């Protein structure tokens, strides 16, 4: 039985690595690798049981990220959104301390080293 209750959807592997650095709890991080086709999105919904989990969307603040966020919002209306400061544009380029603060605001357990 899958015990992970929280899922963060990101665009790419570098985003995932950046989040894994600061987070200190068991969270499933799904990489979409850009925009999703309807079929792939359906696979993700079933494979990760997204309708029955806490889903968070953390994507880049650029055109493709906004498009993906809109698409995911439609398919996962219960998902919560986490935003990075527009000055950094990309999740991967966001300083770990900024990312930690954003995740903490959504009740994630964070490595305290990144909150200094």
Number of domain units in the chain: 1
pTM: 0.93
According to DSSP, residue 83 is labeled -
3-state secondary structure of 72: helix
Name the strands in the sheet holding 54-57, side by side, starting at the edge strand that comes first in the sequence.
28-31, 6-10, 54-57, 80-81
Mean pLDDT of 13-31: 96
- pLDDT band of residue 1 (cuts 50, 70, 90) is very low
- pLDDT band of residue 4 (cuts 50, 70, 90) is confident
- pLDDT band of residue 2 (cuts 50, 70, 90) is low
Domain that holds residue 11: 6-107
- Residue 112 is assigned to a structural domain of this protein: no
- Residue 101 is assigned to a structural domain of this protein: yes
Q: What is the CATH number of the domain that holds 11?
A: 3.40.1360.10
- Residue 74 is assigned to a structural domain of this protein: yes
pLDDT of residue 105: 94
pLDDT at 101 over 60: yes
């Amino acid at each position: 039985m899958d015990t992970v209750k929280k899922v963060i959807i990101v665009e790419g592997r570098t985003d995932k690595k950046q989040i894994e650095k600061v987070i200190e709890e068991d969270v499933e991080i799904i990489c979409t690798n850009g925009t999703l086709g309807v079929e792939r999105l359906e696979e993700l919904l079933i494979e990760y049981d997204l309708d029955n989990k806490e889903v968070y969307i953390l994507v880049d603040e650029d055109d493709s990220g906004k498009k993906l966020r809109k698409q995911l919002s439609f398919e996962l209306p219960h998902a919560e959104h986490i935003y990075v400061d527009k000055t950094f544009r990309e999740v991967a380029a966001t300083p770990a301390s900024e990312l930690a603060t954003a995740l903490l605001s959504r009740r994630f357990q964070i490595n305290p080293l990144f909150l200094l």
